[in-house]
Structures are given as structure tokens and as C-alpha cells.
Amino acid sequence: MIAGLVGKAAGFVVGGLAGAVAYDGVKRIVRSNAVRDGAVTVTSWGLRGARVVETGAERARLGVADIVSEARGRLGEQASPPAGSGHGHQH
């Protein structure tokens, strides 16, 4: 019976020690700004990716606008000015 209690107590001590070591390791990482540096790096990758996507979307939009404008020209329609141009006269 005593051996069982000693075995369980030893298990608790080892588990507690492992937890304390892990906690100290996490504290050291947080203090060293490694987590923050990693977050900044990942965020910069995300921003670069967003810029690439935005650039591709803008190129696609301009390409479609060119096609629509050319198609209207072939039909004899006058292309409308860009929205919000506000240059103050009718075409």
C-alpha cells in the first residue's frame, strides 16, 4: 500500500516538474520576442500576398474594361466616362 502511494506521489512530482520546465520555457520564448518576431514575419507575408492578389484583380478588371470598351466601339456606342470622373460636361 505504501509503495503504491509513493509511486503515485512520484508520478505527481515528475508531472509537476515537467509542467514547471515547460512553463519556464514558454516564458523565456515570450521574453525573447521570438513569438512577436514570428507574428510580424507571418503578417508581412500575408500583406505581400494580399498585394499580389489586388494587383492581379486590378489587371483583370482593366482587361475586362478594355474588352467591353472595344466591343461597344464596334457597336458604335460611345464609351461612358469612368464613374466619379465629374469633369462637368456631357458627351
Residues 26 and 46 in one domain: no
Which range of residues forms the domain containing residue 7? 1-32
Residues 53 and 27 in one domain: no
82 within a domain of the structure (yes/no): no
Residues 28 and 54 in one domain: no
Residues 38 and 17 in one domain: no
Residues 70 and 50 in one domain: yes
Residues 9 and 25 in one domain: yes
More confident residue, 28 or 88: 28
Give the whole-angstrom CA distance, residue 63 versus residue 56.
Answer: 11
Per the structure, how many domains does the chain have?
A: 2
Give residue 55's Cα distance to chain centre.
Answer: 16
Q: Which three cell numbers stand for residue 31?
A: 521574453
What is the helix (H) or strand (E) element at residue 91, kind and residue range?
A: none
Residues 10 and 39 in one domain: no
Confidence of residue 1 (pLDDT cuts 50, 70, 90): low
Within 8 A by CB and 6+ apart from 3, the residues are none
What pLDDT was estimated at residue 82? 63
More confident residue, 50 or 87: 50
E strand map for the chain? none
69 within a domain of the structure (yes/no): yes
- Tell me the range of 27-36, 47-56, 77-86 where mean pLDDT is highest: 47-56
Give the whole-angstrom CA distance, residue 9 versus residue 16.
Answer: 10
State yes or no: pLDDT of 59 exceeds 80: yes
16 within a domain of the structure (yes/no): yes
Give the whole-angstrom CA distance, residue 72 versus residue 81.
Answer: 13
State yes or no: pLDDT of 68 exceeds 80: yes
What pLDDT was estimated at residue 32? 78
80 within a domain of the structure (yes/no): no
Amino acid at residue number 48: R
What pLDDT was estimated at residue 31? 77
